[in-house]
């Protein structure tokens, strides 16, 4: 019984920590905005436009030249996959061209993903 309650408490804390704040995520996105645009119809920059990225299949933004590694990845940008990508793009898809080490903070990643989810 106590072990069950302890496990439930850990899961609740993890879920609360994982809940992202889109407003805070917009601030985190400032790091991404060096390479990515995020407004509907904006052209790609060094990286693709991230408007509508949530739920989209990877490497399908029409105005961007993706690496063959990302094109052949078969990834769909779910929240879980975005989290893995933002943690370490090079580890998730070796050979991609994104020159970004990743974000180690789970809360910042959750906030950023919550923001990206609003770009629709």
Q: What is the DSSP string of the chain?
A: -HHHHHHHHHHHHHHHHH---HHHHHHHHHHHTTT---STTPPP-SS---TT-TTPBTT--TTS---HHHHTS--B--HHHHHHHHH-HHHHSTT----------HHHHHHHHHHHHT--
Q: Report the pLDDT value the prediction gives residue 2, as an integer from 0 to 100.
A: 52
Residues facing 57 on adjacent strands:
76
Distance from C-alpha of 110 to C-alpha of 35, rounded to nearest angstrom: 20
Query: What is the mean predicted confidence (pLDDT) over 47-57?
Result: 98
Residue 82 pLDDT more than 90?
yes
Query: What is the mean predicted confidence (pLDDT) over 76-94?
Result: 98
Q: Report the pLDDT value the prediction gives residue 14, as an integer from 0 to 100.
A: 41
The model's pTM:
0.84
Residue 6 pLDDT more than 70?
no
Query: What is the mean predicted confidence (pLDDT) over 17-30?
Result: 91
pLDDT in tens, 53-77: 999 999 999 989 999 999 999 999 9
Query: What is the mean predicted confidence (pLDDT) over 7-20?
Result: 51
What is the percent of the chain with per-residue pLDDT over 90, rounded to a whole number? 82
Which domains does the chain carry? Answer: 2-117 (1.10.760.10)
């Amino acid at each position: 019984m106590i072990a069950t309650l302890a496990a439930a408490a850990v899961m609740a804390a993890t879920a609360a920590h994982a809940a992202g704040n889109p407003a805070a995520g917009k601030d985190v996105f400032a790091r991404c905005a060096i390479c990515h645009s995020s407004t509907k119809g904006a052209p790609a920059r060094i990286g693709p436009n991230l408007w509508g990225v949530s739920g989209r299949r990877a490497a399908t933004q029409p105005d961007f030249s993706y690496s063959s590694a990302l094109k052949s990845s078969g990834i769909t940008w779910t929240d879980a996959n975005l989290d893995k990508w933002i943690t370490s793009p090079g580890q998730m898809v070796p050979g991609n061209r994104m020159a970004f080490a990743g974000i180690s903070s789970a809360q910042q990643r959750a906030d950023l993903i919550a923001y990206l989810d609003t770009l629709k």
